[in-house]
A and B are shown apart, each in its own frame.
Chain A
């Protein structure tokens, strides 16, 4: 077994470890967002959260596998170190992009929900009373005081 093999082993161990760490962080901290989005329906939020994490794992492991092969074989420790660093760096960048994408999706879902619940942005100019007469809001306020 040559240094190239050990380079691969290092790369896979580090990348998989990082992926699992990021996925667990997302899983743990994304839940609060989802529970809010799905109106406190915890089961649904957990289900969506789990599905998101599965997708995250699939994409990342897929990328790690595809990016495994080195163009040039490594012959000594220095070359091996460089190769591992380069490959892990790529994985980190992909993980970072995935992470921000995830955040974007979460915040987008949440913003849409908040929009749907937003109350009328302007106060009414007048109110129609029960007897059918209309009173301007400033007069109504004067009456209440």
Chain B
């Protein structure tokens, strides 16, 4: 039943294009074997037509938007991305369990903290003037 739903499903991951760590993770993500297609797009390139959230909101939390309209943010977004990957779906199911969920929140918050450290100066103004 679920395979039919998953066929043709595509996840768009909005990441911070100014953050070196995020860019690396996005590149790594593209190379992983997947159950579900994943597309990484820099949040800075978001327009009102491509995404209902504005750039500031996208930069605040990692956001995953599926082509069926589902929006996942923060820890849910991480878990959904892991779910799409062939080698990490096991971890996704584990993290979503009640006992693991608090640890997942902490882990992903830490990763987000590390990501902020690798952030370059904002590029939004330059993008808009182009």
Which among A117, A120, A124 has the greatest number of chain B C-beta atoms within 10 A? A120
Q: What separation, in Å, do the CA atoms of A18 and B3 have in the docked complex?
A: 42
Q: What separation, in Å, do the CA atoms of A17 and B98 have in the docked complex?
A: 50
B3 contacts A122, C-beta separation under 8 Å: no
A122 contacts B76, C-beta separation under 8 Å: yes
- Quick check: which of B85-93, B107-115, B121-129 contacts chain A, the rest being far away? B85-93
Given A116-B35, A118-B83, A120-B80, A128 and B71 contact (CB-CB distance below 8 Å): yes
Q: What separation, in Å, do the CA atoms of A23 and B120 have in the docked complex?
A: 65
Would you call B99 an interface residue if the criterion is a C-beta within 8 Å of the partner chain's C-beta atoms?
no
Within 8 Å CB of B72, what residues of A? 122, 124-125
In this complex, what residue of A is CB-closest to B73?
A: A125
B69 contacts A121, C-beta separation under 8 Å: no
A134 contacts B53, C-beta separation under 8 Å: yes
In this complex, what residue of A is CB-closest to B79?
A: A122
Q: What separation, in Å, do the CA atoms of A121 and B92 have in the docked complex?
A: 7
Within 8 Å CB of B79, what residues of A? 121-122
Q: What separation, in Å, do the CA atoms of A77 and B96 have in the docked complex?
A: 64
> What 1/0 flags go to A114-145 for Cβ under 8 Å of B?
01111111111111110011100000000000
Name the contact of A126 in the complex, choosing from B71, B89, B96 (C-beta under 8 A).
B71
Given A125-B73, A129-B69, A118 and B80 contact (CB-CB distance below 8 Å): no
B80 contacts A128, C-beta separation under 8 Å: no
B3 contacts A117, C-beta separation under 8 Å: yes
Q: What separation, in Å, do the CA atoms of A133 and B49 have in the docked complex?
A: 10
In this complex, what residue of B is CB-closest to A119?
A: B2
Within 8 Å CB of B89, what residues of A? 115-116, 118
A124 contacts B71, C-beta separation under 8 Å: yes
Chain B positions 38-88 with a Cβ under 8 Å from a chain A Cβ: 49, 52-53, 65-66, 69-76, 79-80, 83
A118 contacts B93, C-beta separation under 8 Å: yes
Can you name 7 A-B residue pairings with CB atoms under 8 Å? A118-B83, A120-B80, A121-B80, A122-B79, A126-B73, A127-B71, A128-B65
